[in-house]
């Protein structure tokens, strides 16, 4: 039996050893970076250096449009000529070359090496002594998180890995809470959760939830998102139901302040949008009165999204030119009465009889179409259509319950429910 064949040392069939690489973080603030070359690659990298507060000198006889804009704005120093030698690197902490001319890039790299300066040669990934990683930044209330990926001369693979991590962050799949909390200052974020399904929660909302130690949640917030939070995140339920407010608003304000004062990151997760009949302004005022930083993240308000889920646009060319959103908890004020102005009522089921009487008293036609959309975006979403004169009785007959959005105006005729329900209306 023949002995197994061996591969000779140094054989060209052997895979190349991976390039040695030590990822580090550089503080470029106030430090000079010299960029040789004026094309789009240089422009992209120069912007990254400026984002890190570096002082940038660009050596090149010409500039692409993006770099010219930076030079015209005085953000970079432009040496308008070809690279001449080591003197162009005087005072630099870092060098970047991307002239597109291999011999010039090699010269710049050699001069930097002789001066013991790290040089990023963007045109030769195999030979460069320093490399830029594929990078993404996420801003949390506690500071910035930077994700970088390096794949030894394969920038496409590095971008793929970076994008995968960035996607995990955007979908709330990674825990972004700080592990070093000594001396940490608490914060509050008022996050609009949309109409109750996690698919309509914003990316920024997910990032903040992934950074939170405490989540103060409403009844109509997207509960599936809350259920997926790590077990170590404390969830405080302050949900209200019609006529039942176990945690008054003043106490909710106190909870936000108390938890933030303990050094925690607090997300107040609300249904819809914090500033659309959501008392977000009151909560922000309470926090800021105690010196607590507050971020407000808009949500997809149910005033627009729930009618859309039922096939009803709040404006439509030739039908409605504007809309108003009011609370149905209180007597509605006098508003435009034409069918071409849509009225959206939130939290209006219990006072529907009173509201329709007021609409007629204010001048709205009794024949104006009305729709009540219950449980928007949920599997059991239901729409009841009628007119100002009939909708209250129809809603009572069908057992309509909150949460529901009421739409008044000619746009209701665009609902898929309108043709079949018109006789009863």
What pLDDT score was predicted for residue 191?
A: 96
CA distance 124 to 155: 12
Helix (H, G, I), strand (E, B) or coil at 257: helix
CB 363, CB 337: distance < 8 Å: yes
What pLDDT score was predicted for residue 243?
A: 57
Helix (H, G, I), strand (E, B) or coil at 2: coil
Six-digit token string for 357: 């009487």
**C-alpha pair distances (Å), 283 with each of 184, 191, 287, 321:** 22, 12, 6, 33
Answer whether 0.75 is exceeded by the pTM.
Answer: no
Domains and CATH numbers, the chain: 32-132 (3.40.50.720), 135-170 (no CATH), 187-300 (3.40.1010.10), 304-421 (3.30.950.10)
Nearest residue to 345 via CA among 356, 337, 47, 26: 356
The 3-state DSSP composition of the chain as helix, strand, coil percent (nearest 5) reads: 30, 25, 45
- DSSP letter assigned to residue 247: S
Q: For residue 178, which phi and psi values (nearest 5 degrees)?
A: -70, 140
Residues in the chain, pLDDT under 50: 1-12, 15-16
CA distance 32 to 46: 11
Nearest residue to 306 via CA among 415, 425, 420: 415
CA distance 179 to 170: 20
Helices (H) and strands (E) in the chain, counts: 12, 17
Q: What angle do the packed helices 155-170 and 203-211 form, to 10 degrees?
A: 80
């Amino acid at each position: 039996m023949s002995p197994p064949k061996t591969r000779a040392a140094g054989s060209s069939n052997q895979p190349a050893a991976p390039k040695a690489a030590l990822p580090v973080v550089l503080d470029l603030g106030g430090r000079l970076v010299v960029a040789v070359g004026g094309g789009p690659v240089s422009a992209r990298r120069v912007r990254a250096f400026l984002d890190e507060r570096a002082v940038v000198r660009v050596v090149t006889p010409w500039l692409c449009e993006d770099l010219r804009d930076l030079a015209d704005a005085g953000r970079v120093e432009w040496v308008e000529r070809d690279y001449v030698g080591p003197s162009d690197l005087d005072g630099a902490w870092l060098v970047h070359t991307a002239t597109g001319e291999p011999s010039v890039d090699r010269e710049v790299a050699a001069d930097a090496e002789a001066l013991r300066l790290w040089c990023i040669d963007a045109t030769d990934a195999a030979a460069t002594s320093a490399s830029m990683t594929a990078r993404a930044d996420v801003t949390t209330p506690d500071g910035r998180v930077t994700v970088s990926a390096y794949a030894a001369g394969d920038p496409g693979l590095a971008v793929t890995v970076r994008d995968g991590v960035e996607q995990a962050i955007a979908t709330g799949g990674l825990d972004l809470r700080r592990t070093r909390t000594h001396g940490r200052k608490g914060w509050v974020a008022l996050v609009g959760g949309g109409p109750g399904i996690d698919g309509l929660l914003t990316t920024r909302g997910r990032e903040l939830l992934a950074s939170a130690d405490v989540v103060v949640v409403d009844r109509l917030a997207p509960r599936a998102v809350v259920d997926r939070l790590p077990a170590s995140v404390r969830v405080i339920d302050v949900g209200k139901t019609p006529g039942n407010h176990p945690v008054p608003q003043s106490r909710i304000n106190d909870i936000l302040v108390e938890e933030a004062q303990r050094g925690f990151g607090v997300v107040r997760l609300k249904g819809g949008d914090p500033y659309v009949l959501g008392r977000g302004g009151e909560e922000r005022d309470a926090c800021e009165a105690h010196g607590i930083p507050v971020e407000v993240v808009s949500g997809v308000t149910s005033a627009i999204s729930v009618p859309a889920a039922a096939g009803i646009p709040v404006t439509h060319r030739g039908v409605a030119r504007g809309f108003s959103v009011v609370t149905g908890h209180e007597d509605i004020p006098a508003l435009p009465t034409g069918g071409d102005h849509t009225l959206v009522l939130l939290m209006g089921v219990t006072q529907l009889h009173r509201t329709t009487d007021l609409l007629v008293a204010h001048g709205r036609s009794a024949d104006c179409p009305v729709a009540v959309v219950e449980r928007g975006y949920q599997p059991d979403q239901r729409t009841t259509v009628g007119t100002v004169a009939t909708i209250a009785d129809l809603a009572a007959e069908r057992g309509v319950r909150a949460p529901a959005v009421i739409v008044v105006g000619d746009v209701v005729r665009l609902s898929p429910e309108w043709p079949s329900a018109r006789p009863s209306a």
